[in-house]
Chain A
C-alpha cells in the first residue's frame, strides 16, 4: 500500500462498522425502552449510596445481571430472574459488572432485607459469612466510646465488636445500605417480542 489515505480510509470504515453494531444500533434499539412496570426511581439517599458503591469499586466483584435459568442456576441461588433492559432504566452509569468474586446483587434488597445485617457485614464480612474474602470497610464507620443520640449503632456478634466501644455507621454506610436495599427487581416482566432479553 502506498497511500496513507487509503489506509486511514479503510481503518475508519472498519471502526465505523464496529461502532455502528456495538454502539449506534443498541442505542437506537434501546433508546425508547420504558422503565419496567414496578421499577421505582431511586431516592436521593439511594443515589448517594450508589455513588458510595461506585466509589469503592463494588462492581469489580459483584455483578448485577442474574443469568437465565437455561444457562446457569442463578435463580435457584435466589439471585432472581433474568433481567430485561427496562430494569436498568434509572441506572446511570450501568453497573452490570463482569466478576463474581462475590454473589450477584441485583436483588440483594429482596434476598437480605435487614439493614442491620448489611451494616455489620460491611464492617466485618467474616462476622456473618465465615471464609468470605470481601474487604472490610472500617473507614465507613466510627468507633465511639459512647454513641450520641441519632447515631446508628451497628449490632455486631460480640467476638467482632471492639471491647468497651461502639461502632457507629457513618452517613456513607447508611446511604450504601439504602441503595443495597433498593436493589429489588423481583416484580414480574414480559420479555420483549423482538427477541431482546
Chain B
C-alpha cells in the first residue's frame, strides 16, 4: 500500500470515528446507569449484596461496607414484590443446579490434570533427563497434554458451567432442555479423553492448539452443539425484554467458538504458510473470542451482584463489546511477525492488536469506577477478591499484548519464554482467577450448602497469587534476557539457553505453588460435594431484607 492510500484511509476512519462520537453523544450513550444496567437486580435490590461464598460474619461486614456509601431505604410493600421476583431466581437456580455441578466438577478434575502436566513440563525444561525414558512423558507431548487439558478441559468446562448457571438468572426463566447439555458434556469429555490419549501415544494433527486429530474433533462439535441447545431454548423463553451485557458476551462467544473450531479443523483444506495464518487466527481467537468474552461476562454479572450496585457505565460496556468483537478477531497475525507470510497481514494484525486498547480501557475504566468507594468489600468477599484481581489482570495482559505486537518489542520477545509468561497472564491470572471466583459464588447456590472450610478459600487465593507472581516475574525477566541474547550475534545461541535456567527453575517453584493451590481448591470442592460442613441456610441468606437487617446477623 502506498502512503497516499494510507493517509486517505486514516482520514476516512477519523471522520467516521468523529461521526460515531457525535452520534453517541446525541443518543446519550455516555450517561451513567441507563436502566439496562439494573436488569440483573430485582426491584429495590440495589444496595443489597449477594455473596454465597462468604461466612455469616463476612456477609455482615460486606453489607456494612456497602451500606456505608449507599444506605438503602426501607419499604415494606416493595420488599413483598421483591420476594416474588426472588422466588423466580431461586427457581432459575434450581433448574441449573445439577447441570452446573456436572460441568464444574469436570472442570476441577481437568484443572488438576492440567496442573500436574504443566508442572512436569516445567521441570523438564531445566532437568531435561527427568522422566525421559517414557515416550508419552517427553516434553513435546506432556506440554501438549497440559495445553489441551487447559484449552479443552478446564477452561471450557468452567466457562460452560458458569454460563449455564448465569443465563437463566439473566433471562429470569428456568433452564430449558438441561438434558441436552448433560449429553453434550458426556460427549465433550469423552472426546477430550480420546484426544489426550491420542496425543500421549503420538497421534497428532501437528498444529499448535489443534493437535487433537480431526476425527475426534467431530465429537467435540456434536458435544458443543448439544451444550449450546439449552442456552438457545432458554433465550427463546426469556422473561426479560432487555438482554444484559453479560448475555452479549456469552451468547456471542458460544457462537464464535464452534465456527472457529470447525474451520480450523477441516482436514485437507489448509496448506503451507496459509495454514500458519489460519493456525494463529484460530489460536488467538480461542482466547479472544471464547475465553475472554465468557470471563468478561462473568465479571459484568458477579461484580455488580456482589456489591449490590449496577456497573458504572452500561454503554461503555457495550462499546467494549463491539470493539472487542471487531478488533480481537484480526490480531492473530502478530504471531507471525518476521515470518514468511504476506506483509500486509502482519501489519493489519499489529494495528488491530494496538486498537485492542479501546475495549480494554472501556472495561478497565468501568470496573474501576464501579468498584470505586467499594474496595473495602474485597476484604470480606472471597469471590470478589478473585474476580476483581482477575479483571485487573485482563487490563495488564491486554496492554502487554498490544505492546508485544509492536515490531520492535516483538523482535525481542517472539520465540522466547516472555510469550509463555504473557499467555499465562491472560489465561491464568485473568480467565482462571475469574472462574475461581465465580465457582466460589455459584457452588453454595448449586449445592444449597456452605463452603465447609472458608479458610481454604483464602489459602487457595494466596497460594495461586504468590505462585503466579513468582511464575510471571521470573519468566518475564528470563524471557526478555533470552530474547536480547538471541539478537546479539556475538553471543552464542547456547548462552541464550543457559541464562534462562534460574528463571525456568523459578517457574517450577511458582507452578508448584499454583498446583498446590489447585489441590486445596479441589479438596475443598470435593468436601463440599460430599456435604462436609454446615448446611446452607437456604434462600434466607439470599439477600438481606431491608427491614430485617438484624435477623441476618443471627442467621
Contacts and interface: CB of A to CB of B under 8 A. Distances in A.
A76 B419 CA distance: 24
A158 interface: no
Given A71-B338, A76-B489, A2 B494 contact: no
Interface in B421-447: none
Contacts of B134: 139
Contacts of B235: 4
B133 A138 contact: yes
A17 B202 CA distance: 35
Contact of A30 (B272, B414, B417, B504): B272
B252 A61 contact: no
A11 B256 contact: yes
B277 interface: yes
Contacts of B329: 14-15, 17-19, 22
A88 interface: yes
A65 B128 CA distance: 25
A26 B139 contact: no
A33 B141 CA distance: 33
| Interface majority SS (helix, strand, loop, mixed), chain A | loop
B204 interface: yes
B330 interface: yes
A78 to B, nearest CB: 10
Given A15-B259, A85-B272, A134-B128, A93 B252 contact: no
A23 B141 contact: no
Interface string A60-78: 1101010110011100110
B157 to A, nearest CB: 23
Interface string B191-212: 0000000000011111110000
Given A15-B256, A60-B144, A92-B271, A137 B132 contact: yes
B341 A26 contact: yes
Interface in A83-116: 83-85, 87-89, 91-103
Given A93-B275, A131-B498, A26 B345 contact: yes
Given A26-B273, A93-B205, A98-B415, A195 B281 contact: no
| Interface majority SS (helix, strand, loop, mixed), chain B | helix
Which of A23, A29, A33, A129 has the largest number of chain B CB atoms within 10 A?
A: A23
Contacts of B11: none
Contacts of A196: 342-343
Contacts of A17: 326, 329-330
A134 B497 CA distance: 10
A129 B329 CA distance: 42
A84 B487 CA distance: 21
Given A94-B207, A125-B128, A138-B133, A4 B138 contact: no
B369 interface: no
A155 interface: no
A147 interface: no
A99 B139 CA distance: 13
A27 interface: yes
Interface in B211-257: 235, 241-243, 248, 251-252, 255-256
Interface in B134-158: 134-135, 138-141, 143-144
Nearest to B493: A103
Contact of B124 (A26, A63, A135): A135
Contacts of A139: 133-135, 138
B125 interface: yes
Given A18-B328, A77-B489, A85-B273, 8 more contacts: A15-B325, A23-B274, A26-B277, A56-B202, A133-B501, A135-B128, A135-B129, A138-B133
11 contacts: A21-B330, A22-B330, A22-B333, A26-B277, A26-B345, A72-B338, A85-B273, A100-B496, A103-B493, A135-B139, A195-B343
Interface of B: 124-126, 128-129, 132-135, 138-141, 143-144, 202-208, 235, 241-243, 248, 251-252, 255-256, 259-260, 263, 270-281, 285, 289, 318, 322, 325-326, 328-330, 332-333, 335-336, 338-345, 348-349, 411, 414-417, 419-420, 486-489, 493-494, 496-498, 501, 504
Closest 7 CB pairs of A and B: A57-B140, A18-B329, A73-B489, A55-B202, A22-B281, A100-B415, A11-B252
